[in-house]
Chain A
Amino acid sequence: MVIAIGFEGSANKLGIGIVKDGEVLSNCRRTYITPPGAGFLPRETAQHHRENILEVLKEALDEAKIYVKDIDVVCYTKGPGMGAPLASVAVVARTLAQLWNKPLLGVNHCIGHIEMGRLITGAENPTILYVSGGNTQVIAFSRNRYRIVGETIDIAVGNCLDRFARILKLSNAPSPGYNIEQLAKKGKKLISLPYCVKGMDVSFSGILTYMEERANQLLKDGYTKEDLCFSLQEHVFAMLIETSERALAHCNSKEVLIVGGVGCNERLQEMMDIMCKERDAKLFATDERFCIDNGVMIAHAGAEMFQSGTRMSWEDCTITQRYRTDAVVTTWRRE
């Protein structure tokens, strides 16, 4: 039996969660929301995390109704992500591990998403679409690693959507992607936009640049904000489904799991479901508690690592902005 506490802060979500043998005891989160038209920058984001982390920690411990002495391992996001925010959270995790005299493990953020997704949905060996503000990858498990079968060659889909929301000056609360989704539901006219899939990889900078240059003119020409949101979603999501379908066919898989913040989007889930049904595959997805960055996923992945014998020295417990999903050997999961 392992009780793990996880600390997540690689982007603008600060999350602390506690898990006991796959059971979620607490899942607390605060999001740093910037005004419409503005994105979040590392310094202010780190500041937000520092200002809130102790309060969130207390919340997580109270909700879980456990004592510090019951905790077996302290886990934190080692990377990938933004430097200052990652560091601000890592510092607290390291300090607590020392204060409480507990082992410390640095967890890969992407793997946190994947393992949480598998736990919640029960998917056995899915092809994984991981889509968030910072990452866009199609992943398949093979020979003890989560192999990146396809990915974005420039920006993440979430980043594309967030920056588009800024052009339209949409509110960032609760998240820009959520607001795009709501507007898209009312969109009617489909605008033809650049579509870029190369094999199993995708590229979003072209469609973003196109929108940046033409959004105002399109609005003047009679298209509504709803139409623009609708058109953007239809295009970027189709690109994601296409690469997922290729991966599914290539890996001969019958399951698809969507993880990451953009995975909350109902239209994306609907499109993926249509594709899955055509191929006789099953779709697995989680809700916003676990799609969006959270501390529980870090705790759970860390617990898995811990239980399978992974240990890290203090020197290893650093943070890193670039940390590829396939860099981790899955000691807890063998082929």
Chain B
Amino acid sequence: MTYEQPLSAATNATIRIKLFKNVKNVPHLRKQIISGALKCCIIKPNLIVDPFQIVVAANKALTANKMTTRTMFAEILFNLSISKNITQSLQKFGIDDNEKDIIVVVIDKGDFSDKVHEVYEQIKGEEVDILCLKDLTDLKEVKKAYKLSDTEYEKLSILDSVVSRIATKDCI
């Protein structure tokens, strides 16, 4: 149901990724995140190929010496994008008020296990198996967003190409 993965050993953190459909209180959740009251990252599903994509972006955020954005959660959204423009990145990968299906990401540093439930309680929607993500992915949009070439899109693993772009954003 939940996708869980320990991040880099030095971070002492585990990422937990859940998928929710038909969420009724998205505008409220957004306000809560911006105010800092809700400690999670909410991602639009259409540009996510596989939860591992989020793992790589989150791992990068947690292992970085210096963040570009102001919060860890904003940093995850920023890292998912190949753009160096923060606003653009947050808009592209984050949700807007009209979104019904959302990916909820929580970073558990061991001390957080109890608070995790608090996050999920706030979401007024139906939790589905994370595997259902593949039905929500828009591969054509992914190709555009990550500037994948036609050859690459046809021949290679899209997840591998996307993840590699996330990892090397600072190298280009």
A contacts B directly (C-beta below 8 A): no
Chain B residues near A (Cβ < 8 Å): none
